[in-house]
Amino acid sequence: MKLINKITAGRIWRSIFRTGLPSTNYRRSLVILNNFFLHLHPAKVKKSSIKFTTTFYLGGLSFALFLILTVTGIFLMFYYHPAVPLAYRDMKDLEFVVSNGKLLRNLHRWSAHAMVVTASLHMLRVFFTRAFHPPREFNWVIGVFLLLITLLLSYTGYLLPWDQLAYWGVSVGTNMIKAMPVVGDKIRFLLLGGNITGENALLRFYVLHCVILPLVLSVLVGVHFWRIRKDGGLQAESAGRLSEKTDLILGEKTNPRKDESLVHSNSIRSK
C-alpha cells in the first residue's frame, strides 16, 4: 500500500494520470474533461437522458458494435488475402487452422448484422421521439448517411469470403446498378473494376470495406457525436410530453411565457 501510494504520488504517475482518484465531484468532472477518450461527454448528464427507455442505448450499441467490428476486422485482415482463390482458402484456414479463427469470423459476421439492425432501430427511435427537431436537423441527415455507409460496409464485406453466397449475393446487387439511366454501366464498371464480378471487384470491395468506408464512417461518427454535444446533449424527454405545451414550429397556440421571452430578447436586440 505504501509503495502504491508512493507510485501514485510520484511525478511519472501524475504526468500520465493528472486527475487523481475521483473522490470528489470536482475530480469526477475532471475524469471526463481531462480524458481524451471521454471528453466528448459533458461532465454532467441529465438523469432522464441516461435512462434505458429514453434511447434504448441504440446509438451507443451501434458504436460499440462498430468498435467490435473494427477490432475483429483488423484481426481478420491478418489472415486474409483479397485474391482469387486465396480469399476462399483463407476462410477455410480460419475455420480449420487459425486458433479461434471461426470465433473471430462469427463475431465479425454477427456484429455486422447486429449493427445494421441497431443503426436502423436507432433511426426509428430518433424519429418517433422527434429528436431531430431544430437545431438537430443536420445531425439527422448525417445519421441517414451513417446508416447508408453501414449498409455499404456490410454489403462490401459480404463479397470477401468469395463463396457462392457472397459472389451471387453481390452480383444481384451490382446488376441492379446497371438499371441506372446513363451512368449505370459506368458506375458498375468503377465499382467492379471491370464488367464482371471478378478478382478486381474483390480487391476494390476489400479496399472499400477495410479502408475507405471505415474512415468515412469514423469521421462522420465523430461529427455526429460532436453535434449532439454542441446541441446540448441528448434530447432528454420524448417530444410526446411536449404536447401539452405549444407547437412551436406550427405556432398554433401561443404560450404567454414564450412571448415574454420574445419581447425581452427583442428589447436586448434594440439596445
Partner 1 sequence: MNDDHPVKVEFGDDAQVTQTRVAYVKGDTSIAVERERDEEVMTFPHLIVREVLLFEILLIALVLCSFLFDAPLESIANPEHSPNPAKAPWYFLGLQELLHYFPPVVAGVVLPTLVVVALVVIPYFRINLARESFWTGDVRKKFTILSAVVLPMNIPFVVSGAVPIYSCSAIIYSLMVLPVFLPRGRGILERFRQCALADWIMIWFILVGTVLTVIGVFFRGPEWRWIWPWIDGIYY
**121-140: which residues touch partner 1 (CB under 8 A)?**
123-124, 127-128, 130, 132-138, 140
For position 215 contacting partner 1 by CB under 8 A, the verdict is no
Nearest to 80 by CA among 249, 210, 227, 233: 210
Nearest to 107 by CA among 57, 151, 71, 153: 71
Contact 49, 234 (CB under 8 A): yes
Please report how close the Cβ of residue 219 comes to partner 1 at its closest, in angstroms: 19
For position 34 contacting partner 1 by CB under 8 A, the verdict is no
Nearer to partner 1 among residue 9 and residue 211 (C-beta):
9
Binding mask 42-81 for partner 1 (x = CB under 8 A): xxxxxxxxx------x--xx--xx-xx-------------
Stretch that binds partner 1, among 73-81, 208-216, 220-228, 242-250 (CB under 8 A): 242-250
Binding mask 93-122 for partner 1 (x = CB under 8 A): --x------xx-xxxxxxx-xx-x------
- Cα distances from 117 to residues 55, 104, 130, 154, 239, in angstroms, run 15, 20, 20, 11, 24
Region 151-210 residues binding partner 1, contact defined as CB under 8 A = 151, 154-155, 158, 161-173, 176-181, 184, 196-198
Nearer to partner 1 among residue 143 and residue 214 (C-beta):
143
- Cα distances from 41 to residues 146, 180, 232, in angstroms, run 20, 43, 11
Q: What are phi and psi of 179, to 5 degrees?
A: -70, -15
Distance (Å, whole) CA 201 – CA 189 = 9
